[in-house]
Each structure stands twice: as structure tokens, then as C-alpha cells.
Amino acid sequence: MRKLVLLSLFFVLGCSTKQPKKELLKTAKTISNYVDLNNNPVDLSIYREKKILINYWATWCAPCIKEMPELLKAQAILKEYNYVFLLTSDEDISVINDFKNKTNYNFTFLKYSKSLASLGIYSMPTTVVLDEKGKKIETIVGSVKWDSEEMIQKLKAL
């Protein structure tokens, strides 16, 4: 019985100390973990006043690769609707560069310096849409038909 009481106290007290986690989140938001393909830091705030579509992908992910032509078409359509598309991977820059050079896709490719799991991304592709103030307004898990009329209208309406 005494062990049960001690164990219960441990869980209650352990879960009630949330302040350090909040501080960690504040700090994490101020540090840019994105770099371009020349390993230069990229602060996403440079895209303020634009809607940002961040597609998290990998070179080994067949559904990610399959949707890229449609993403390219959507990027062209949505440019006039104030969108910027960022294709982001946590793979080595050399791997991303090799892919870019082989495919000649006209995207802004970025590397995320930490694992995508640190963002809560466990399935690829995963796409996050941010509004003009940098606030997440949509998360799409899995591949979709990006250039479909339905998806284009949905993104225009966000």
C-alpha cells in the first residue's frame, strides 16, 4: 500500500511541473532549425506576409516523390494567392541536393536540422500550412492530389 501511495505521489508531482516544458517550447520557437542547401540558416519569418506550405518529405518516400509534379503545379497556381512552398527533409544536404539535381524540380528545398519526429511528424509526406503571421492553420498527413480543383480551392480559402 505504501508503495502505491509513493508511486501515485511521484506521478502527480512529476506531471505538475510543466513550467520548464513551456520555457523549452518558447526557446525552441526562437531558434531556426531550417537551413538551405548551402547550410545557411533560414528563418521562416522572412516569409511573413505570405502563406507557407511546408511539405515534409524524404528521398526514400515513394508517395512523397509521386506527389511532387502535382505540388509543382499547385505552386504555380497558388503563387498569385500569396503562397510559398518549402519542401523540407531531415536527410543530409548532399542527399537532398542529389535529388534536386536529378529531378530539376523548381522548389525551395530546405533541410530540417533535427529529426522530423521532434516536430511530431511520424508519417510522410506531411504538409503544414502557416498563415501570413506564421500560425499553423492546416496539417495534411499523407499524399494528396495537390493540383485537383478541390485542393486548390481549399488552399485558396485558407
CATH superfamily for 34-157 is Glutaredoxin (3.40.30.10)
CA dist 99 and 4 (Å) reads: 55
Answer positive or negative: Cα dihedral of 76, 81, 84, 85: negative
User: Per residue in 14-68, pLDDT tens?
Assistant: 333 333 333 333 333 434 799 999 999 999 999 989 999 999 999 999 999 999 9
Provide CB contacts within 8 A for 116, sequence distance 6+: 56, 90, 122, 124, 126
Provide CB contacts within 8 A for 38, sequence distance 6+: none
Amino acid at 103: T
Query: Where do the domains of the chain lie?
Result: 34-157
User: Per residue in 88-116, pLDDT tens?
Assistant: 999 999 999 999 999 989 999 999 999 99
